[in-house]
Amino acid sequence: MSNYQNIIVEIHGGSATITLNRPEKKNCMSPALHAEMCQALVEVEAANVKVVVLTGAGDSFIGGMDLEKCFFDNWDEPARFKEGVGYSFEWMRRLKAFPAVTIAKVNGWCFGGGMLVAGLCDIAIVAEESTWGLSEVNFGIFPGGGTTWATQANMPSRKQALYYSLTADTFDGKEAVTLGWASKSVPLADLDEATQKVVDNLLRKGRIVLDFTKQVYERTRDMNFPDAIDYEIAKLYELSRLTNDDWIKTALQSFKKREYKPGLQSYQVAREDI
């Protein structure tokens, strides 16, 4: 792996962890960090991992954008500003469409752009003590750069989404679950263990089926029911082809022999590459 100044990248077997490593700045995202994230996600994807965990060093997940470096320092230099913003959009677009399962492990402060990152991940395991907020209106702008999109995509209630966008009030990890930003919350002391439990669960499943589950969910969100049925059946045939009918030949055969319970257990995939 490459050497990074603003992040730490670790790959172990079928999982990877990317830690934003600017604790003195609450892991606020600078143009240099954005550039490193672009490179890191390319390298992690090439490793064919099943799961990627994003977290932050110190007492923060991500405190938002580094306002000075992202905006103030570059505002009068359009080319540099465009380059820095371009890096942020590039890696977040890649994160949204990443083939591996992405997990936000929110250990502390999560503001603005940090909420965008958490919102783009597939799963968010968060500390009950974590503090969340859309603080943009406090310095005279609205949640931008995809943050408003992530807010409406993650928060089912228009009233709640607008309340927190307009007031900049904060909420904790327990409320993040209720509001739709998080999958589950646990005490900070249990965050590592709870996240690893989810990672271990996912590692027992097939890499391709995890990717396809994400694809089908995203594509069918805006489909009507008949179109969704057609798409899902087509993707099932595609999945079967790519895995050499593993779910028929291995999973259903194992189930027929009563070797595992699908409602409670996963079968062992026939090959590691699927």
Question: Is the domain of 135 the same as that of 23?
Answer: yes
Contacts of residue 143, defined as CB under 8 A and 6 or more positions apart, other chains included, come to 112, 134, 136, 151, 165
Question: Is the domain of 123 the same as that of 80?
Answer: yes
pLDDT on residue 265:
86
**Residue owning tokens 């859309």:** 134
Sheet-wide strand order for 60-62: 60-62, 109-111, 131-133, 171-172
pLDDT on residue 114:
97
Residue 86 lies in a domain: yes
* 188 to 39, 103, 118, 132, 176: CA distances (angstroms): 30, 16, 17, 15, 14
Q: Which residue stretches of 168-206 are H helix?
A: 173-179, 191-203
Question: Is the domain of 89 the same as that of 149?
Answer: yes
Alpha carbons 186 and 106: distance in angstroms, whole number = 10
Of 140, 175, 203, the residue that ends a domain is 203
Which bin fits 98, alpha (ψ -120 to 50), beta or left (φ > 0)?
Answer: beta
The number of folded domains in the chain is 2
Question: Is the domain of 42 the same as that of 157?
Answer: yes
Question: Is the domain of 68 the same as that of 155?
Answer: yes
| Domain boundaries, position 119 | 7-203
pLDDT on residue 72:
65
Question: Is the domain of 76 the same as that of 171?
Answer: yes
Amino acid (1-letter code) at residue 13: G
Question: Is the domain of 147 the same as that of 37?
Answer: yes
As to burial, measured by CB atoms within 10 angstroms (0-12 exposed, 13-18 middle, 19+ buried), residue 77 is: exposed
Question: Is the domain of 101 the same as that of 229?
Answer: no
Alpha carbons 109 and 117: distance in angstroms, whole number = 13
Residue 57 lies in a domain: yes
CATH number of the domain residue 52 falls in? 3.90.226.10
Q: What is the pLDDT of residues 192-239, one digit of tens each?
A: 999 999 999 999 999 999 999 999 999 999 999 999 999 999 999 999
Which pTM value belongs to this model?
0.93
Question: Is the domain of 190 the same as that of 217?
Answer: no
Contact between 17 and 27 under an 8 Å Cβ cutoff? The reply is: no
Residue 34 lies in a domain: yes
Residue 264 lies in a domain: no
Q: Which two tokens stand for residue 95?
A: 């994160």
Alpha carbons 54 and 19: distance in angstroms, whole number = 6
Residue 45 lies in a domain: yes
Q: What is the pLDDT of residues 46-92, one digit of tens each?
A: 999 999 999 999 999 999 998 777 676 676 778 877 777 889 999 99
pLDDT on residue 1:
63
Contact between 107 and 163 under an 8 Å Cβ cutoff? The reply is: no
Q: Which two tokens stand for residue 62?
A: 């991500």
Q: Which helix (H) or strand (E) holds 67?
A: helix 67-67
Question: Is the domain of 170 the same as that of 239?
Answer: no
Percent of the chain scored above 90 by pLDDT? 79
Question: Is the domain of 123 the same as that of 231?
Answer: no
CA-angle at 8, arms to 92 and 191, nearest 5°:
85
Q: What is the DSSP string of 246-266?
A: HIIIIIIHHHHTT---TTT--
Question: Is the domain of 121 the same as that of 234?
Answer: no
Q: Which two tokens stand for residue 25?
A: 């700045």
